[in-house]
Amino acid sequence: MMKYMIGADIGTTSTKAVLYDLKGNVKAYANVGYPLYQNVPDMAEEDPDEIFEAVVEVLGKVMRKGHVQAGELQGVSFSAAMHSLILMDRNHQPLTRAITWADNRAAKYSNELKANGLGHEIYQHTGTPIHPMAPLSKIIWLRHEQPDLFKQAAQFIDIKTYVFQKLFHTYKMEYSIASATGLFNIFNLDWDQQALEVAGITRDQLPELVEPTAQITGLDTTYSQETGISSDVPFIFGASDGVLSNLGVNAIDPGVLAVTIGTSGAVRVVVDKPVVDPNGRLFCYALTKDKWVVGGPVNNGGIVFRWVRDQLFAPEKLTAEQMQVSTYDLLTQIAEKIPAGSDGLLFHPYLGGERAPIWDSDARGSFFGLTRQHTRAHMVRAALEGIVYNLYMVMLMIEGVAGKPKSIQATGGFARSELWRQMLADIFEQDVTIPESFESSCLGAAVLGMYSLGLVDDLSAVKDMIGVTNVHEPKAENFDVYRELIPIWIRLTRELSPEYSAIADFQRRHMQVKEATKD
Mean local confidence (pLDDT), 235-239: 98
Mean local confidence (pLDDT), 404-415: 86
CA dihedral 382, 387, 392, 395 (to 10 degrees): 180
Mean local confidence (pLDDT), 151-173: 98
Q: In Å, how far are 144, 154, 200 from 203, measured between CA atoms?
A: 20, 11, 10
| Residue 70 to residue 266: CA distance in whole angstroms | 39
pLDDT at 290: 92
% of residues, the chain, pLDDT over 70: 98
Residue 205's pLDDT band (cuts 50, 70, 90): very high
pLDDT at 91: 98
Mean local confidence (pLDDT), 231-253: 96
110-132: pLDDT as tens digits: 999 999 999 999 999 999 999 99
pLDDT at 29: 97
User: 66 with 31: CB under 8 angstroms?
Assistant: no
93-110: pLDDT as tens digits: 999 999 999 899 999 999
| Residue 154 to residue 95: CA distance in whole angstroms | 10
- For residue 157, give the nearest of 84, 74, 235, 266 by alpha carbon: 84
pLDDT at 88: 98
pLDDT at 513: 60
Mean local confidence (pLDDT), 222-246: 97
- For residue 32, give the nearest of 6, 7, 5, 51 by alpha carbon: 51
3-state secondary structure of 205: helix
| Residue 260 to residue 306: CA distance in whole angstroms | 16
User: 196 with 184: CB under 8 angstroms?
Assistant: no
Top-confidence residue, 510 or 146: 146
443-459: pLDDT as tens digits: 999 999 999 999 999 99
pLDDT at 518: 47
pLDDT at 514: 54
Top-confidence residue, 502 or 417: 502
pLDDT at 326: 87
pLDDT at 516 over 60: no
pLDDT at 415: 79
327-345: pLDDT as tens digits: 899 999 999 999 999 999 9
| Residue 29 to residue 329: CA distance in whole angstroms | 24
Q: In Å, how far are 2, 23, 110, 342, 412 from 20, measured between CA atoms?
A: 11, 8, 41, 43, 19
pLDDT at 517 over 70: no
User: 331 with 367: CB under 8 angstroms?
Assistant: no
pLDDT at 325: 84
280-328: pLDDT as tens digits: 999 999 999 999 999 999 999 999 999 999 999 999 888 888 888 888 9
Q: Which of 60-64, 264-268, 366-370, 452-456 has the lowest mean pLDDT?
A: 264-268
User: 235 with 168: CB under 8 angstroms?
Assistant: yes
| Residue 485 to residue 392: CA distance in whole angstroms | 12
